[in-house]
Structure 1
Amino acid sequence: MSLDPDLSEATFTDLIRYGDRPAILTAGGVLSYRELAARVDDVVVRLGAERRLVLLAARNDVDTLVAYLAAISAGHPLLLVPADKPAAVDSLVAAYEPDVVLRTSDGALELDERWPGTRHDLHPDLALLLSTSGSTGSPKLVRLSRRNLEENARSIAQYLGIGPDDRAATTLPFSYCYGLSVVNSYLLQGAGLVLTDLSVVDPCFWDVFRERGATSFAAVPYSFDLLDRVGFADMDLPNLRYVTQAGGRLAPEKVRSWAETGQRRGWDLFVMYGATEATARMAYLPPDLAAEYPGTIGVPVPGGSFRIDPVDGLPHGELVYTGPNVMLGYAESLEDLALGRTIDELRTGDLARRNANGLYEVVGRKSRFVKIAGLRVDLGQVEQILSGMGVAAAATGSDDDGLVIAVEGEHDTALLTKVLVSDLGLPRASVRLHAAERLPRLPTGKIDYPAVRGLAAPKTAPPAPEDPRRESLADVPRIFAECLDRPDVTPTDTFVSLDGDSLSYVALSVRLEAALGRLPADWHLQTVGELSRRGKPRRRGLVSFLEPSIVLRAVATICIVAAHVELFTFHTAHLLFVVAGFNFARFQLTGTRSARLRRHARSLTKIVVPSVAFIAVAYLLTDDYSIANIFLLNGMVGPQEVTSEWHFWFVEMLVYVLIAVTALLAVPWLDRLERRAPFAFALGLVAITLLSRYDIVDPGLPKPLPVFWLFALGWAVARADGTVRRLLVSALAVLTVPGFFDHPLREATIVVGLLLLTWVPALPVPSVLRRVTGWLAAASLYIYLTHWLVYPVLLPISPVLAVVGCLPVGVGYWALCRWLPIAFARWRRRTGSAGSAMKAPTA
């Protein structure tokens, strides 16, 4: 598709021409081009008529987009900086002294006019200032003109065939040239932007993607690792037309694999090559050639051209790009803002060749050479040698320090070093390999080579904090790794993507609260990196705040034990089924259907295994239980009258419910229905289970379906993402719970607990009890299991002692059940490593 002739002179800020077409689509609504234009005009007025230097701390939100378009359309040179890097914002404010600083906060645009008018000499062609790749916060900026932006947007729109019905999901930051090019090219064509700051590993991202009919998204190389993790290749995305890739080299085998996946699934893969200095794109690989020529960058974008200049001493020349999107030049100080064009072509620094088919191929980097022991070493070649051995690696170094190489995953670094030394002809002492769980990456997904070089610096492991309350921002990745037993935690991971569940949620949230202060309600969907960048916690006072689900689990557990000891009677067991449904919807309904089913199976295992193990011990030590108890079948085949064999009814019913919902969501069309309409699905589940609540249907079982109804109510609470929906769920609870138990206090307890989950983000807890509350909540299942054997021993002494004594025993069993799998896995790794070492050939 070529550009519409009527749009050949159009610009991406000419919004009003598209009238009522949808411009911005979010999870919460749609903004037309006419409405967007009106908001842009309002900000233009606020910025004033005099041309000034504007700094925008950018987020992926509507207000940032409005501010960007206002500054560009009004001719104010704009310095775009990521808002989540306050140090970078401060550094650039100090270096360039902007006249105006714009920030977005709580759905509003804040305009900080640092002085009236301008104090700068600004060249008339200057439109935008962006940091170069990997230099966020550095005074060195790329100077771009309005023509650079418009020509690159036209070029991209032409080769991607963007039409007015296309909709792109904003998967990359606006402050990144690649992410910004998506915005410009889509607005130019009157297409839609599905605006979100969610990660592709967040299931909510794909919900928004489907609901808003997105047809494309942009990815960097690392994105494909995340897409693989969430099962993207098997997702049902009926509107997806193409995926674009840039921001670094994607390995040829991955290009071929994803291109073939796209061919099977009905979408195209556009591999692209570019740089901030070229406003974004210089080349693209036509999708029909991607599987056949996956190692190439393709052909120049429309309007651009390449040539290859010889480089002395090297077999391949340097790739040089010419086109209307080449930057004006660099700015390294405030005075450079007065400069006009200082370059006419872009020397990329990449070594390249042009193949017989006319496709260009980058074969190395002109600057990525080091001289070691008199030998010239190509760092790209080092990475390719290791890649050929199936090892992902990043190589850097210097003439003085030799090679420093990071390899991803567990490998025999001594053997790899031996291979490299032999192939490269280098002294053994000049090559240092370091194994890493993940290669260090920048926020754009590119390799962080300074971090790789830092691996060679001597390190001393920081001591573990003596007091968990001293945990700090730097401890966030370690807290995730320890609580989830995941040594592979990366800055882009979330609690959900790491397969966290309700059992690990409590321990993790309590420790994070100690490190970060009060947590946002959606912290489990925020990345480790985002949590690590939160501000320092305020000094803790006498009161802390914890999520209602945590407090309710802890309090309900104590009340259950106290009721059985007959210290006081306050029935709370059924409230825990509401909490269970709430947590199930939050943590278990993520990823593909197969990933969900694996997560459900793991969750069931964490309940069934410790329960069966303990009940088996109880069966051997007492005469109170039967074989049916061990296999959690008493609810099915046990006596109808209440005896000691009903002690574990709660565990049995929870397992029955989880098995039922797992079977339900294993049905493909039901799984798809839940994804497309999560709240409606939850309400439908409530409606079905109410048939048992009102005895319209008799399932022939004593308790599961009434419990299922409460579980479904908790599920609906988790999916109620707006005031109207919360009011609806609250009304359902108020109308359906009273009268069921013929016990007003028990019914009031369930209703109040549900309302707390629905409306209250955090509950106050005395600071001295914060960690204890977390322990009790995390160990609630284990306390319930063990208290049946503990309290009869202590009750003759004192009812209070009987209650208090049950709690540490349950916590201890919880800690044991957490430790055993970790210890077993470590033992397996040690024995596996030892076995591999014994089999390794000797030198």
Structure 2
Amino acid sequence: MAPLSHLLPAVRAVPFVRDLARHGARPAVVTTDGVLSYAELAARVAQIARQLGTRRRLVLVTSANTLDALVAYLGALHGGHPVLLVPGDGPAAGTLTEAYDPDVVIGPTDGEWTLHERRAGTAHDLHPDLALLLSTSGSTGSPKLVRLSHDNLQANAEAIADYLGIRDTDRAMTSLPLHYCYGLSVVHSHLARGAALVLTDRSVADACFWDLFRHARATTFAGVPYTFDLLDRVGFAALELPHLRYVTVAGGRLAPDKVVRYADLGRRNGWDLFVMYGQTEATARMAYLPPDLASSRPEAIGVPVPGGAFRLAPVADQPDDVGELVYAGPNVMLGYAERPADLGSGRTVEELHTGDLARRGPDGLYEIVGRRSRFAKILGLRVDPQQVEALLAAHDVSAACLGADDELLVALAGDADPQRVRRLVGDEVGLPPRAVRVLPVDALPRLATGKVDYPALRTLIAAPPPAAPPGDDLCRLYAEVLDRTDVTPERSFVDLGGDSLSYVEMSVRLEQVLGQLPPNWHTVPIGALPAPRAGLPRHRRTLETSVAVRAIAIVLIVGSHIPLFTLTGGAHLLLGVAGFNFARFQLTDAGRTDRLRQVRAGLARIVLPTMAWIAAMLVVTDQYRLSTLLLAHSLLGPDDGATEWHFWFIEALVYILIGVAALLAVPRIDRLERRHPFALPMTLAGLGLLSRYDVFDLDARHNLPTALVAFWLFALGWAAARADGVRQRLLVTAAAAATVPGFFGQPGREALIVAGFALLIWLPTVPSLGPLNRVASVLAGSSLYIYLTHWQVYPHLRDLPLVALAASLALGIGYAALVNRVGRWFATCRNSPSLRSSTNSSTKR
């Protein structure tokens, strides 16, 4: 028998999605790339609907806070297709694809957004009311889903827009993920009123989030309790947000004292705080606390949303005024789905038993006082501890789990590694490592039936956590080295904007604390790093190869210029290291705009100190010209200058970085790099060989800049960082060994460069000693500035070559310290509330 849904017309759609075009030219979506009107958004949504066709099919959409994801989601709804919305990271997409066999999958493939039709029709019987399927269990990919109807989505969007008073002039930041019902409700309620969405995947702990907030004139953002911890860390109270109208919080209980504090802050600054309560089963929200009651009743969840109602169902062993909170309203789900056959079911739930114990105060406000079940809401994610236990059991780990307001407690029996368990749970459930506390126990307490005695277990692990968890120590270290105040355990060195200069100091300092650096530590979240080791490590010390190469190369450069010895090739080797570090620190998983922002910041850290130094030298010496100051000597000459060529390396590096940034600014090239991270730099290295070998005789006729002639070395360094596996490493090694010889006609110089490449490619670290690590750290971190300044030191001390070397290194190190101090001073000024206030005031005047 054919599924009944084949006989039904695919004409039903959620009204606020169907009517997008009626808002016309009003802004619908704001991103860092520009503004999209409702008319333009409606056209893109309709195009997706046309691609999906008129026959209703189950469409899985991989969610992200991007325009592609938003358009795909709305397009499926517009076409009347039930949407299975899943997070873009973690195992959920694969698990739910296997469990529910969607007809169409929309999401990124190798960095490019694609619509993949798994079949022309549908394999399912899809109920005509079914619009959306959402998970309630984080990113574990649990097959238990909430079935939401078109009426559910519309009713909840209208109710939220009503009690928040959303206007068509509002602009909401997408501060929560779209696959999370709370984040999705922000989208629905604002589209229902013709308001705009400011799309971003940035955290509120990121300064760029607030830059975009101000630039886009955003009026609101949503947060879970953990969001407010981050707001405290970034100094939210001092931020100037002139267009902010209201802030919402849900996804868990915000401590009453914090409710009062933020409500008072909002009152002083002209915005409202809405405390809300909801569950996915109610299409996001069931209650809200009117802002004027937040200070006097901060422990309450408030009153039902418009159209909804509460009752208290009696619960055994509870006081008379406490019962299970039961909700009824048009936003209550159709029911659960646990298998594909359930997608054809109609309504199986009339009212929602929330599992929360509540009481109703004399003022009519409801207050949550406990939970009936073991489900826990942690940092906005609803987590099933029983499912986590099953996950660990599948990995042969004996454990019992309990949920708390802000963390998942895992009692670990046996000899499993707590750090491994912590990472496993965090990765699978979608919680940051800081929210998973693993506590080894001798044995799990059990009842006479053999079941785990959870009350006894809670008593056993009720002792407060250590005053200073290991992650806190590492966060303080990261904050000190990177000079940032927004360091959190779930962010990595690269996430925090670390670059090749700060990497040197961070790697050495971290190696001192941890005893040994994990592979690719710079991309690992701080909370997932091993715990700091007390005292000095006893095992053999190591040094990052790239740090060692930079330190050795700068000593060779200065020593050969004196000359104390003659071992040339260090500068060209540093071009390869620059490409190596470019791939590691600039080509992150961030979006194209963020990547380019990082490249610009890196260029500023090179260009500004260089021009400042050369400008000073123009005043006190006659060695340089304006072309030198503008880093344009290779373009403007003079070709016969005796000293103007001194900064050729910096000039070449700047040109290369500008050229590569321009290339990656092209969306198609950016997608190509993400899809083929090794093939692209190898291809660029091949193109660079055209100028290296002067295939077209251009160098002979036009004296090409060094940036073009030596670019292939930068590209090979880039490829070395991206090489994955023995075959690719061999290919890069062979390319260096084949193309470097003959470039200078100096076998020793060429051998040095090839050897340096081989070390980068094959040895992540080299044996070292603690004192040597500290020296290498300073030299490598100051290498740019040593190169920049040594020209003005050694000529005056040629008769004392060792002194000349020491003085050259010392001046460069001193200039590096000065540059870092000035940079921090500017950062402090830029973030100073008083300075921002005066700047804004003068602008208004």
TM-score scaled by length of structure 2: 0.58
Give the aligned partner of residue 76 of structure 1.
81
CA distance in 1, matches of 2:71, 2:237: 34
Shift of 1:446: 7.8
Task: Please list the CA deviations of residues 281-301 of structure 1 after superposition, one character each: whole Å capped at 9, or x if unmatched.
Answer: 001111111111110001111
Q: Does 1:62 align with 2:67?
A: yes
Query: Cα deviation per residue 1:569-627 (whole Å; 9 max; x = unaligned)?
Result: 78979x99xx9xx99xx99xxxxxxxxxxxxxxxxxxxxxxxxxxxxxxxxxxxxxxxx
1:135-534 aligned at under 5 Å gives the runs 136-315=140-319, 316-367=322-373, 456=441, 484=478, 492-495=490-493, 504-506=502-504
Could you say which residue in structure 1 is the equivalent of 2:30?
25
Aligned mates of 1:55, 1:14 — CA distance in 2? 23
Paired residues of 1:558 and 1:803 also in contact (CA < 8 A): no
Check conservation: 1:320, 1:348, Cα contact below 8 A: yes
Is the 8 Å Cα contact of residues 478 and 487 (structure 2) preserved in structure 1? no
SS state at 2:28 partner: strand
Corresponding residue for residue 648 of structure 2: 748
Q: Deviations over 1:533-582 (max 9, x none)?
A: xxxxxxxxxxxxx9999977764454134434533478979x99xx9xx9
1:255–1:290 Cα contact (<8 Å) kept: yes
Give the alignment of 1:506-655 within 5 angstroms: 506=504, 555-568=553-566
Aligned length in residues: 594
Taking a change above 3 Å as real, the CA distance of residues 447 and 304 of structure 1, as seen in their structure-2 partners, is farther
Supply the distance in 2 between the matched residues of 1:159 and 1:558 (Cα, whole angstroms): 69
In structure 2, do the counterparts of structure 1 residues 552 and 238 end up closer, same or farther at CA, with 3 Å as the change threshold?
farther
| Shift in Å, 1:309 | 1.6
Letter in 2 for 1:768: W
Asked if the contact 2:433–2:489 (Cα under 8 Å) also holds between the matched residues in 1, the reply is no
User: Could you list the per-position Cα deviations for residues 331-360 of structure 1 after superposition, in whole angstroms to 9, with x for gaps in the alignment?
Assistant: 011111111000111111111111111111
Asked if 2 retains the 8 angstrom alpha-carbon contact of 1:24 and 1:30, the reply is yes
Cα separation, 2, equivalents of 1:686 and 1:366: 61
CA distance in 1, matches of 2:640, 2:163: 64
CA contact (8 A) 2:433 2:528 kept: no
Q: Is the 8 A contact 2:251 2:277 kept in 1?
A: yes
Q: Against the structure 1 CA distance between its residues 125 and 553, is the aligned structure 2 distance closer, same or farther, given a 3 Å change threshold?
A: farther
Preserved CA contact (<8 Å) 2:253 2:405: no
Amino acid across the alignment from 1:746: H
Q: Residue 337 and residue 560 in structure 1: after superposition, are their counterparts in 2 closer, same or farther (change >3 A)?
A: same
Question: Which secondary structure does the structure 2 equivalent of 1:321 belong to?
Answer: strand
- Return 5+ residue gaps in structure 2 as ranges: 1-13, 379-383, 390-397, 408-417, 445-469, 531-543, 587-596, 662-716, 721-756, 814-845
What letter matches 1:245 in structure 2?
V
CA contact (8 A) 1:551 1:773 kept: no
Question: Could you tell me whether the CA contact under 8 Å between 2:170 and 2:195 is conserved in 1?
Answer: yes
Give distance in 2, aligned partners of 1:233 and 1:457.
46
Deviation string 1:296-344 (CA, Å, 9 cap, x unpaired) is 0011111111111221221111111111000000001111111100011
Say if 1:78 and 1:129, in contact at 8 Å, map to a contact too: yes
Instruction: Give the 3-state SS of the residue equivalent to 1:262 in structure 2.
Output: helix
List per-residue Cα deviations over 1:424-444 (Å, max 9, x = no partner): xxxxxxxxxx99999x97999
When residues 276 and 292 of structure 1 are mapped into structure 2, their CA distance, relative to the original with a 3 A threshold, is: same
Shift in Å, 1:204: 1.4
Deviation at 1:185, TM superposition (A): 0.8
Contact 1:693 1:740 in 2 (8 A): no
- Cα distance in 2, alignment partners of residues 74 and 745 from structure 1: 64
Question: Would you say the 8 A contact 2:562–2:805 is kept in 1?
Answer: no
| 2:19 counterpart of 1:14 | yes
In 2, Cα distance between equivalents of 1:443 and 1:289:
39
1:678 to 1:224, Cα distance in 2 relative to 1, 3 A:
farther
Contact 1:572–1:746 (8 Å) recurs in 2: no
The offset of 1:258, in angstroms, is 1.5
1:763-817 Cα distance to aligned partner (Å, 9 max, x none): 34431355359979744268889999xxx9xx99xx99x999x99xx99xxxxxx
Picking from 107, 110, 117, the partner of 1:113 is: 117
| Distance verdict in 2 for CA 1:745–1:39, change over 3 Å | same
**Equivalent position amino acid for 1:337 in 2:** L
Residues 562, 803 of structure 1: 8 Å contact kept = no
Q: For residue 779 of structure 2, what is the aligned residue in structure 1?
A: 780
In the alignment, structure 1 segments of 5+ residues that lack a partner are 1-8, 370-378, 384-393, 410-433, 460-475, 533-545, 588-675, 714-730, 812-843
The separation in 2 between residues aligned to 1:267 and 1:179, in whole angstroms, is 20
**2:127 alignment partner, one of 119, 123, 128:** 123
| Structure 2 CA distance for partners of 1:449 and 1:131, relative to 1, 3 Å | farther
Q: Deviations over 1:640-661 (max 9, x none)?
A: xxxxxxxxxxxxxxxxxxxxxx
Give 1:780's aligned amino acid. Answer: L
Distance 1:43 1:547, change over 3 A: farther
- Does residue 40 in structure 1 map to residue 34 in structure 2? no
By how many angstroms is 1:500 displaced? 6.0
Q: 1:321–1:348: 8 Å Cα contact kept in structure 2?
A: yes
Question: Residue 456 of structure 1: CA displacement?
Answer: 4.3
Deviations 1:85-129 (CA, angstroms, capped at 9, x unpaired) = 1x2111111111111111135774311211220111111111100
CA distance in 1, matches of 2:648, 2:116: 50
How far, CA to CA, are the matches of 1:529 and 1:332 in structure 2?
34
Q: Over aligned residue pairs, what C-alpha RMSD do you find?
A: 5.8
Q: Counterparts of 2:637 and 2:202 in 1: how far apart (Å)?
A: 36
Q: How far apart are 1:733 and its partner, in Å?
A: 8.5
Distance across 2 between alignment mates of 1:494 and 1:66:
30
**Is 1:95 equivalent to 2:99 in the alignment?**
yes
Q: Is the 8 A contact 1:18 1:190 kept in 2?
A: yes
Query: What is aligned with 2:58?
Result: 53
Cα separation, partners in 2 of 1:406 and 1:162, compared to 1, 3 Å: closer
Name the structure 1 match of 2:765. 771
Distance of 1:736 and 1:263 partners within structure 2? 60
Specify whether residues 499 and 274 from structure 1 end up closer, same or farther in structure 2 by C-alpha distance, changes over 3 A only: same
The CA deviation string for residues 122-144 of structure 1, in whole angstroms up to 9 with x for no partner, is: 11111100001446400100000
In 1, distance between residues paired with 2:232 and 2:472?
A: 24
Q: 1:444 and 1:18, CA in 2 relative to 1: closer, same or farther beyond 3 A?
A: farther
1:23: how far off? Answer: 1.1
